[in-house]
Amino acid sequence: MTILKTYILFLSLCITSITSAFSFALKYDYVVAQDGSGNFKTVQEAINAVPDFRKKTTTIFIKNGVYKEKIILAGSKQKVYLIGEDVKKTILTYDDFAQKKNIFGEEKGTSGSSSFYSYADDFSAKNITFANSAGPVGQAVAMWVAGDRTAFVNCRFLGFQDTLYTYGRGSRQYYKDCYIEGTVDFIFGSSTALFDECEIFAKKGGYLTAASTPDTVKYGYIFLKCKITGNAPKESFYLGRPWRPYAKTVFIKSDLGRVIKAEGWDHWGKESNKQTAFYAEYKNKGEGAQLGKRVSWSHQLTEDQMKEYTIDKILSGWKPSED
C-alpha cells in the first residue's frame, strides 16, 4: 500500500509539473532562456521570430540572465511585449559608446552607441533592466526609442551620459514605476514622454533632462509624482536644459532631492532659449524645491493651467496598459 501511495504521489507531482509548464507556455508566445530551456537563447532571436506587422500582441518572456546583445526591434515588429522574470536579474546590456570606432574606423556617435533600438509602434516592456555598461566614457545610450505608443512598467535604465534617448519625433512614451540613472542629459530627445511615479537617480553632477521638443508639439517631458534622488553632491544638478530652443519639461507634485540646484533650470548658454523653452513646476516638494530661487524665466503652474496636464491630454487619448 505504501508503494502504491508513493507511486500515486509521484504521478500527481508529474501531472502538476506538466500542467504548470503547459500553462506557462500558453501564457507567452516565446520564452528566452540562456540555458536553452526556452524557445530561444537570445532576445534578438525571439524578436526576429515575430511575424512582420502582426496585428495581435506577441508576448516574449525573458528568464533571468545578463544578455549582452545589441538589440534592434525593427519597425515591422509591432505590438511586441517583453516581460522579464525579475527586474534586477533580467538585464539587457551592451557597451558601445559615441567615440568607439565602427568597422570603418569612424566614431559610432550618440545614436550609434545604444544597447537597444526600438523602432516599432506599440512596444511595451515590464520587469527588465536596460543598460549601457561602457561606463563614464561620454555619450553611451542604454535605450533608444522611436516608435509611437511605447510603454515601460517597472523597468530600470542604467548608464551615465545620455542613458535614455526618447528619439522619436511625434512619439508618445509612458514610463510607470521606472528607475532611470545617469549624469549629463541622461533623459533627452524630442518625444512626448510621461514619467509616472518614477525614480530619477542623479550621479556625479549635470542635467537630468535635455529635451528637444519640436515647436509644434504641446508636451515634452512630464514628471508626475516622481522622486529625484542620487549620490551627486548637494545642488549639483539642473532639472533640465534645452537641447533645442522649444524644449518643454514640467515637474508635477514630485519630490526633488538635495541634488537639485536652487535655480532649477539652465538655458544652455543661449539667451534666446529663455523666451522659447518652457520649463515649469507644480506643487513640488523636498530640499530641491526651492521655488522662490528659480530662474525668472521658468514657470509655476496655476490651477487653471494644470487642467491641461491630464494623462489623457498629454498622451493625446492613448491609454497605456500597466499590466
Active site members: 162, 185
Neighbours of 46 (CB within 10 A): 23
Task: Give phi and psi for 116, each to the nearest 5.
Answer: -135, 130
For 202-234, b/e burial (b = at least 16 CB within 10 A) is bbbbbbbbbbbbeeeeebbbbbbebbbbbebee
User: Please, what's the largest Cα pairwise distance for the chain?
Assistant: 90
Q: Are 119 and 147 in contact (CB under 8 A)?
A: yes
Give the position of cell 524645491.
289
Rounded Cα–Cα distance for residues 110 and 105 (Å): 16
C-alpha cell of residue 220: 515634452
C-alpha cell of residue 37: 530551456
Residue type, 18: I
Long-range contact list for 47-53, CB < 8 A, 24+ apart?
Answer: 47/71, 47/72, 47/73, 47/74, 47/77, 47/80, 50/77, 50/80, 52/76, 52/77, 53/78
DSSP element (H, E) containing 207: strand 199-211
